[in-house]
Structure 1
Amino acid sequence: MAAAAVEEIRATAYVGFDSITSQIEHKLLKRGFQFNVIVVGQTGLGKSTLINTIFASHLIDSKGRLEADEPVRQTTEIQAVSHVIIENGVRLRLNINCWDPIVKYIKDQHSAYLRKELTAMRDRHIQDTRIHCCLYFISPTGHSLRAIDVIVMKKLSEVVNVVPVIAKADSLTFEEREAFKQKIRAELVYHNIRLYPFDTDENDEEEIQLNEGIRNIIPFAVVGSERNVIIDGKSVRGRKNRWGVVNVEDEDHCEFVHLRNFLTRTHLQDLIETTAQIHYEAFRSKQLLALKEGVQQRPPTNQ
């Protein structure tokens, strides 16, 4: 009788462990979070315009030409720009940086975080300036990757999540774009360049399929625009080219929507976690091992 009563309680009682996800979500949304992007590519590929388009805000003034006959204004230094975007009460701090010396800059952010982490009286919430994603802009030549692209992407992939994009993809026909994407994917494999996303033992079947879908799209062929154009009587973000008008958010025109969803919806948290668990952890382990070896090799002081 007593045993039967116990079994009934086990079957009907509700403990509430499943509320943990809503608790975590509430704390995260209340505190806000940081997502740090570095954009890399040659001058004139529309890096600033694309970032502004993705986050639906004017975050960066474009360095490109204002008039057709104006020479391109070059940007050859690291530019650190920090913005807070608020959407439906959720705060997102976005740090955007571009150009050389890229690897040093990324490692400097790891080093700064490590120093704060090792401080005896560290802050409760350490401001995270580690780079979570590198958007690498590829010129829409339709040919092979440039040697510099191969070298830089290979070096960057060792320290950051690299996501390649074909800039100003509307300069290519659909057939040219697909052929170019296939060439790039083949070269990435040939040169053993390991790009994000990565599969781990913790991934479930849904996550594995999602990552496989992203790998089949990469490099994202994108078009950015902060201007509105009229298509079929509707005002949309787009730009005019020699073939007509490109609707930035039309999946038949470019892959901007796929990139935006990837960065802000499906993979944002994973980009942050991968940075902490893979790239930063590798840097941290190396630094602490070097520190330990330095202490062991230090000669004893005379008493």
Structure 2
Amino acid sequence: MDSNGASPTAPTAPMPAPQTVSSTNPKQAALAANDMNIVRRKLTGYVGFANLPNQWHRKSVRKGFNFNVMVVGESGLGKSTLVNTLFNTSLYPPKERKPPSLEISKTVSIQSISADIEENGVRLRLTVVDTPGFGDYINNDESWDPIVKNIEQRFDAYLDQENKVNRMNIVDNRIHAVVFFIQPTGHSLKPLDVEVMKKLHTKVNLIPVIAKSDTLTDEEINAFKLRILADIAHHRIQIFEGPRYELDDEETVAENAEIMSKVPFAVVGANSEVATADGRKVRGRRYPWGIIEVDNEEHCDFVKLRQMLIRTHMEELKEHTNNMLYENYRSEKLQAMGVQQDSSVFKEINPAVKQEEERSLHEAKLQKMEMEMKMVFQQKVAEKESKLRQSEEELYARHREMKEQLERQKLELEEKKTRIEQGRPIEEKGKRKGFSLR
């Protein structure tokens, strides 16, 4: 201790100088920065940043969430009823029956309904976009144009907000999911369905559903699903698939696989409750032959559709819309406008191309690591074999020496035995050791 009573401090090791990257080429600088060794340290005590998910949860609950879904399908397939059943609310009022003489519109109109829903303190701003008039005419050519234009207009509005000086209050009106209703014909997709899905699948997350599946038997539904999936694969239509993460546990992986095995979802919508034979109150439809329960997975796929759309993959739908679909549209839009980046900064690239480049770099890095591990393994094996050979040679040499020694001892014993049998002394006089007095 010094004169002030303070204990002397041990000399601290010099801190390593921070690594810096200097390059005139931005791409090379980025690659060099990525190749830097990342130092990983194991904490010896509690710091607190493991609480970050809780902070994010509080912020998200405070701000609330929004979700925009579009329903596309012919009239009479139960789109409004299904939306009300999904969110367990009367978002759509009961429709009034129109007389047959009433003249209907000749174009597809776009109707948007928004509602604030709250559940257990979590607020959701839900927007449902309906497309009345779709597929209701004899000639449905270009009937999908209003739908595609509405989706693109929402992308343009979001892009315009991003280009403003103040971007603090950007409203996300982009379509996060399109529930595409397929008529329960039991045969295959109609040409109109194929054409519309081909126009939409690069701009939105497509979720195909078989409407009013209670009109088909279980065998017909299974066969219909196989035909729909075959048509989708044949025309190379991309439908939404739940993402797979490395950190997912086995239960989550199995749950996602079970949900995706039900695509396209065979659904039934019902807002009213009916009484079953055992006295239960369930949401469903009553028929002369029995009751269809909406929330019973043995009767329809409504539970799986709700689980994917709301309970498990809502954020994934929004994330895929923002990171892939919108970014692709934004890149094509800016390139068509002739917008180019300055060569002195990082260039604007297609997200798909960027993802492919990152995948190639990752595979090359993995291949390099694999080769290095193989070399280290081979080196260690060679060293081990060399040590084993050396030990083996030493053992052999020791074995030979012991064997020769045993042979010598054996010869000496035999010679002594012969001398004893012949009555001669064991040791010869000339070889007697020590001094003699004679």
TM-score bucket (shorter structure): 0.7 to 0.9
Q: Tell me the equivalent position of 1:109.
A: 154
User: Is 1:63–1:73's contact at 8 Å kept on the other side of the alignment?
Assistant: no
1:120 and 2:165 aligned: yes
Give me the whole-angstrom Cα distance separating, in 1, the residues matched to 2:166 and 2:239.
Answer: 37
Task: Tell me the SS of whatever aligns to 1:217.
Answer: coil
Q: Tell me the equivalent position of 2:336.
A: 290
* Mapping of residues 36-51 of structure 1, within 5 Å: 36-51=68-83
Report the CA distance shift for 1:290/1:129 in structure 2 as closer, same or farther (over 3 A). same
RMSD across aligned positions (CA): 2.7
What percent of counterpart residues are identical? 45
- Equivalent of residue 222 in structure 1, options 252, 267, 271: 267
Q: Kindly state the Cα deviation for residue 212 of structure 1 after the two structures are TM-superposed.
A: 3.8
Q: Tell me the equivalent position of 1:187.
A: 231
Give me the whole-angstrom Cα distance separating, in 1, the residues matched to 2:259 and 2:243.
Answer: 12
* Mapping of residues 1-303 of structure 1, within 5 Å: 12-63=44-95, 76-99=108-131, 100=144, 101-122=146-167, 124-197=168-241, 199=243, 204=247, 206=249, 210-231=255-276, 232-241=278-287, 243-293=289-339
Q: Kindly state the Cα deviation for residue 213 of structure 1 after the two structures are TM-superposed.
A: 3.3
User: Is 2:67–2:124's contact at 8 Å kept on the other side of the alignment?
Assistant: yes
Give me the whole-angstrom Cα distance separating, in 2, the residues matched to 1:145 and 1:199.
Answer: 26
Give me the whole-angstrom Cα distance separating, in 2, the residues matched to 1:71 and 1:22.
Answer: 59
Q: Kindly state the Cα deviation for residue 88 of structure 1 after the two structures are TM-superposed.
A: 1.1
Report the CA distance shift for 1:181/1:72 in structure 2 as closer, same or farther (over 3 A). farther
Give me the whole-angstrom Cα distance separating, in 2, the residues matched to 1:82 and 1:219.
Answer: 26
Give me the whole-angstrom Cα distance separating, in 2, the residues matched to 1:109 and 1:53.
Answer: 26
Give me the whole-angstrom Cα distance separating, in 2, the residues matched to 1:266 and 1:257.
Answer: 12
Normalised TM-score (structure 1): 0.86
Give me the whole-angstrom Cα distance separating, in 2, the residues matched to 1:294 and 1:73.
Answer: 50
Structure ID, larger Rg: 2
User: Is 2:242–2:260's contact at 8 Å kept on the other side of the alignment?
Assistant: no
Normalised TM-score (structure 2): 0.60
Give ranges in structure 2 of 5+ residues lacking alignment.
1-9, 11-41, 132-143, 343-438
User: Is 2:242–2:313's contact at 8 Å kept on the other side of the alignment?
Assistant: no
Q: Kindly state the Cα deviation for residue 292 of structure 1 after the two structures are TM-superposed.
A: 3.2
Give me the whole-angstrom Cα distance separating, in 2, the residues matched to 1:73 and 1:14.
Answer: 71
Give me the whole-angstrom Cα distance separating, in 1, the residues matched to 2:281 and 2:297.
Answer: 17
Deviations 1:7-26 (A, max 9, x none): xxx66411122211111111
Report the CA distance shift for 1:212/1:56 in structure 2 as closer, same or farther (over 3 A). same
Task: Tell me the SS of whatever aligns to 1:287.
Answer: helix
Amino acid corresponding to residue 226 of structure 2 in structure 1? Q
User: Is 1:81–1:95's contact at 8 Å kept on the other side of the alignment?
Assistant: yes
Flag the structure with more relative contact order, 1 or 2, with Cα contacts below 8 A and sequence separation at least 6. Answer: 1
Larger proportion of strand: 1
Amino acid corresponding to residue 158 of structure 1 in structure 2? T
Amino acid corresponding to residue 51 of structure 1 in structure 2? V
Give me the whole-angstrom Cα distance separating, in 2, the residues matched to 1:141 and 1:73.
Answer: 27
Amino acid corresponding to residue 172 of structure 1 in structure 2? L
User: Is 2:73–2:182's contact at 8 Å kept on the other side of the alignment?
Assistant: yes
